[in-house]
Amino acid sequence: MRLIDHWLADGSEGLPPAPLSPVFDPNSGEVQAEVPLGGADVLQRAIDSADAAQPGWAATNPQRRARVLFRFKELVEAEIDSLARMLSAEHGKVVADARGDIQRGLDVIEYACGIPHALKGEYTQGAGPGIDVYSMRVPLGIGAGITPFNFPAMIPMWMFGVAIACGNAFILKPSEKDPSVPVRLAQLMEEAGAPKGILQVVQGGAEMVNAILDHPAIAAVSFVGSSAIAQHVYSRGTAAGKRVQAMGGAKNHGIVMPDADLDQAVADLVGAAFGSAGERCMALPVVVPVGEATADALRARLLSAIAALRIGVSTDPDADYGPVVTAEHRARIERYIQMGVDEGAELVVDGRGFRLQGHEGGFFIGPSFFDRVKPHMRSYQEEIFGPVLQMVRAESFEEALKLPSRHQYGNGVAIFTRNGHAAREFAARVNVGMVGINVPIPVPVAYHSFGGWKRSAFGDINQHGPEGVRFWTKVKTVTQRWPDGTPDGGNAFVIPTMG
């Protein structure tokens, strides 16, 4: 059985035996590899290497650090096809979607290549008589990232790209469900010229997560996953004195106004709801048509589009989406579908029981579509994270606006309309962190920042872009005076002023 081991600067030899967790092939349901679930001993070895490497890396000028990232970007681009196949084989998303996963991560690496500009501080000449003041951004030291199964390339690169560019060492704990690509990315970073110990990968489950949160040498932690775990990560990490950003779950809404281009809206909604089998925190699992006429017309078009969806193995170039990541996750999705039925929602399309011919053991589930879902239903209030689209009918713009604004999650939202005033009003008033106007998945470009509100994010600083630079650095401010040799007769016991 193939072992996907840790990637440590000093290797994993001599570490005590650890329990092994299976890595499945979602297309067949068979175990294809195993990964060790390490704990504090593995983490300590990584920290020792990071601690030795980080001061020298921080002292390397930003332009030279950027050159390493440029080379890393080139190496990943040269391997993007094999990396996409590797990712697809463990996650289940189709290869084209896996390439997109990698490319969106590379976008942040590309942003991080401009780190010499992003790290420039502020300067005031003559803040007082002969006194100048300047600030600089300095690295935190050792950072850590805890990443989910659904984007095993993009989210790690969102984290370590900026952190390493800023001069930090970084320890990555990827999901144990699809750990191969993160290990390969760490290998490529070393090939690109990063010193050993600057990027390491530790494998593990809850024990490793808690070890990261508790270890005093780790200055900051970035996390993406479910809201319950995000809250735990934030609470435990901050209690240990760390800077923490913890991105949680989502229940993103797509508002469809009566004047929307319904054909375009349907194409966007189906792709955003069912792409990657709905395993995206920026998916659109809730559609909110405004007015009964809009709802009826939208429903008819959605049914036609859903019927045309093709589910296939992840290597099928014609498949719209592939299997979900594990049998356990498929069972969870099916429980939510039954919950919706029990709560009284109208199950118009039932994806349960779908089996792909020749791949009956795979973790496949068909698309499901509910109509007449009500806000009080638990299946609406919670994140399903699968290929399930729920329609909540609204009588007015104001009612539609309230639905995402009052929901416990506030990651993303979209509005489909031709009316500029309605779009502007919606964007200004909706209580959600990322807004799309005729854009179904409003993930910001790399030089802006990603982050939701409410239970979708814990912590005050978002990911990547300028916010990422702020998260992975701290500000040092220097007040300097170069005397001309003439005593000023000042009293050193009086607090200095700049007047």
Token pair 């489909």 in the structure block, residue:
416
Provide the pLDDT confidence category of residue 14 given band limits of 50, 70 and 90.
very high
0.85 exceeded by pTM: yes
Q: Between 493 and 345, where is the model more confident?
A: 345
Q: Determine which one of 106, 172, 281, 325 is catalytic.
A: 281
Q: Is the pLDDT of residue 296 over 70?
A: yes
Percent of the chain, pLDDT > 70?
Answer: 97
C-beta of residue 200 within 8 angstroms of C-beta of residue 45: no
Is the pLDDT confidence value at 499 over 70?
no
Return the pLDDT at 103: 97
What average pLDDT is seen over the chain?
Answer: 96
The per-residue pLDDT for 1 is 85
Whether the predicted pLDDT of 148 surpasses 80: yes
pLDDT tens sequence across 440-463: 999 999 889 999 999 999 999 999
> CA 254, CA 227: separation in Å to the nearest integer?
21
**pLDDT value, residue 484:** 76
Q: pLDDT-based confidence at 205, cuts 50/70/90?
A: very high
Whether pLDDT at 492 is above 90: no
pLDDT tens, residue by residue, 245-264 = 999 999 999 999 999 999 99
Q: How far apart are CA 222 and CA 332, in angstroms?
A: 26
Q: Is the pLDDT of residue 495 over 80?
A: no
**Per-residue b/e over 151-185, b at no fewer than 16 CB within 10 Å?**
bbbbbbbbbbbbbbbbbbbbbbbbbbbbbbbbbbb
Distance CA 32, CA 105 (A): 26
Mind listing the pLDDT tens digit for each residue in 267-295?
999 999 999 999 999 999 999 999 999 99
311: left (phi over 0), alpha (psi -120 to 50) or beta: beta
pLDDT number for residue 483: 81
What one-character-per-residue DSSP string does 370-434 give? EES--TT-HHHHS---SSEEEE--BSSHHHHHHHHHHSSEESEEEEE-S-HHHHHHHHHH---SE
- SS3 readout for 165-224: HCCCEEEEECCCCCCHHHHHHHHHHHHCCCCCCCEEECCCCHHHHHHHHHCCCCCEEEEE
Per-residue pLDDT reduced to its tens digit, 211-232? 999 999 999 999 999 999 999 9
Q: Is 166 a catalytic residue?
A: no
In the chain, the domains with their CATH numbers are: 2-248+456-478 (3.40.605.10), 253-437 (3.40.309.10)
**What's 278's DSSP letter?**
G
Dihedral sign computed on CA atoms, order 308, 311, 312, 314: positive
How high is the pLDDT of residue 31?
98
- DSSP E strands in 25-149: the ranges are 31-36, 123-128, 131-139, 142-146
For the cut 90, the answer to whether the pLDDT of residue 366 exceeds it is yes
Q: What is the pLDDT of residues 79-136, one digit of tens each?
A: 999 999 999 999 999 999 999 999 999 999 999 999 999 999 899 999 988 899 999 9
Cα torsion 249, 224, 312, 252 to 10°: value is 30
| Cα dihedral sign, 36-40-45-50 | positive
pLDDT at position 490, please? 59
HSE-CB for 444 with a 13 A CA cutoff: 21
Number of H helices, E strands in the chain: 16, 21
469-489 pLDDT, tens per residue?
A: 999 999 999 999 988 776 665
